[in-house]
Amino acid sequence: MFVFTLCLFLWSWLSSIHGLEFGYHNSMEMEQYLKDINRTLPDITHLHSIGQSVEGRELWVLILGQHPREHRTGIPEFKYVGNMHGNEAVGRVLLLQLIDYLTSRYLSDPLVTRLLNSSRVHILPSMNPDGFESSARECMYTKGRYNKNGVDLNRNFPDAFESTTDQKREKEVRAVMDWLQTESFVLSANLHGGAVVASYPYDNSNRGSELQGGLSISPDDDVFVHLAKTYSYSHSEMHSGNSCYDSQDFSHGITNGYHWYPLPGGMQDYNYVWAQCLELTLEISCCKYPPEAQLPGLWAANKPALLAYMQQVHLGVKGVVMDSYGKPVQNAVVEVAGRRNVCPFRTDRNGEYYRLLLPGNYTIKVTYPGHKTLTHTIRVPYGPDAFSALTHNVLLQHSDYSSTATQLPQSCTTPDLGIQESDSATLLPPSVFTALTLFLLQRLLMLS
């Protein structure tokens, strides 16, 4: 016991001097590192698990901020998710480096200090720890991509454009869906590998009006393009659009997800449509699982982009919607004229709304049952410069003529949740033919 304690002490002492070493840390090492950070920096970090993988590994999330344990009004919630595909290992490494960078520079580095004082940052370094543990250290192939049940987690979310009710939701996906209900995330990115490009929603389409010239365009397309370019131009080379020798050229280093390749059940569309959280899919390395010697260079290339992207959580407008008594109200609909979101943005349980918008003039409409509909025109500055979105609180007036409130589509309150764990026995096994076809397709496409 004494030797163990001594080792632990020496380890934390060494890592506090030299920072986190560049390398691939297995699940136990990662857990130890995160617990150590949580223990030594309780004022600015809070570690919790959002669930477990199929093989029972905890899905650890480290929260960083001035108030890591709870949400504060006006402080937006931001998140990074890594290693959703188990063999795409660079995101996992970079997110641990980011934790090291942020925690070691708080109160000494002005940018880090302002970021952590003005937002609450949630980091899930590995969404698929089982896949990671079973990965081969290869650049291109798919060993370790899937979870323990052989499922691609980035195809397993409810989809806005097609029904996926016949699908069983994997434990890792359910954990993330539940997580999205516990916090009102505003901005997010999900780190992958196998290409170098920032991909933005939509990833799917049902060939309705969203499909324009081969792109599946969301109502917040201008914001998404800006967010993707913020990453690609803050990255040392992503914006050049041709970082990987074998890939296609991406203009500005960004792409509409659907235009690249259509993808049902993806996590970024789910975040955007159902959780009111704008999410990008960041492809950050040509090689999915590169030699460790390349990790410092990958960190240097991505570090400014990871920080600049976090600062974008302050775009647009935020505020509290209150009823005529001044009490914050949940589920007031806050719409921006000209943006018909599949599911209208609503206030959360604290009565707060956050809308990421580029600088300009906007008309916002607030509806709530039993109250007059309010329409305001506001002038939105560039929030990231001030580390705060424009604050615009709304006080509603009671009205006897109710019924003007926007009706939410049924699917917005209950996205199709798929088959519950207990129903899974009724699923028919896929035919050998389907399995073989899928296998060959995966090998051919060598998906990112």
Ligand X SMILES: *[C@@H]1O[C@H](CO)[C@@H](O)[C@H](O)[C@H]1NC(C)=O
- The contact set with ligand X (CB under 6 A) reads 35, 38-39, 42, 47, 66, 113-114, 117, 360-361, 379
The answer to whether 155 contacts Zn ion (rule: CB under 5 A) is no
Q: Please select the residue that binds Zn ion; options are 71, 85, 92, 346, rule is CB under 5 A.
A: 85
End-to-end Cα separation, the chain, in angstroms: 44
The region of 14-22, 79-87, 155-163, 392-400 touching Zn ion under the rule CB under 5 A is 79-87
Q: Which is nearer to Zn ion, 269 or 348 (CB)?
A: 269
The answer to whether 288 contacts Zn ion (rule: CB under 5 A) is no
Q: Which is nearer to Zn ion, 65 or 257 (CB)?
A: 257
From the list Zn ion, ligand X, none, pick the one residue 42 interacts with, judged by a Cβ distance below 5 to 8 Å according to partner type.
ligand X
Residue 166 and residue 156 in contact, taking contact as beta carbons nearer than 8 Å: no
CB of 92 to ligand X, least distance (A): 19
From the list ligand X, Zn ion, none, pick the one residue 296 interacts with, judged by a Cβ distance below 5 to 8 Å according to partner type.
none
Q: Which is nearer to Zn ion, 172 or 220 (CB)?
A: 172
The region of 115-123, 185-193, 250-258, 336-344 touching Zn ion under the rule CB under 5 A is 185-193
Closest by CA to 176, choosing from 310, 267, 263, is 267
From the list Zn ion, ligand X, none, pick the one residue 32 interacts with, judged by a Cβ distance below 5 to 8 Å according to partner type.
none
Q: Which is nearer to ligand X, 377 or 422 (CB)?
A: 377
Amino acid 413 reads: T
Q: Which is nearer to Zn ion, 312 or 448 (CB)?
A: 448
CB of 117 to ligand X, least distance (A): 4
Q: Please select the residue that binds Zn ion; options are 79, 168, 192, 318, rule is CB under 5 A.
A: 192
Please enumerate in sequence order all residues whose Cβ is within 8 A of that of 9, keeping only pairs 6 or more positions apart, or say none: none
CB of 27 to Zn ion, least distance (A): 19
CB of 159 to Zn ion, least distance (A): 17
- Give the active site residues: 283
Name the one residue in this structure whose structure tokens are 């916002």. Answer: 364
From the list Zn ion, ligand X, none, pick the one residue 72 interacts with, judged by a Cβ distance below 5 to 8 Å according to partner type.
none
From the list Zn ion, ligand X, none, pick the one residue 85 interacts with, judged by a Cβ distance below 5 to 8 Å according to partner type.
Zn ion
In the complex, which residues of this chain contact Zn ion (CB under 5 A)? 85, 88, 192, 448
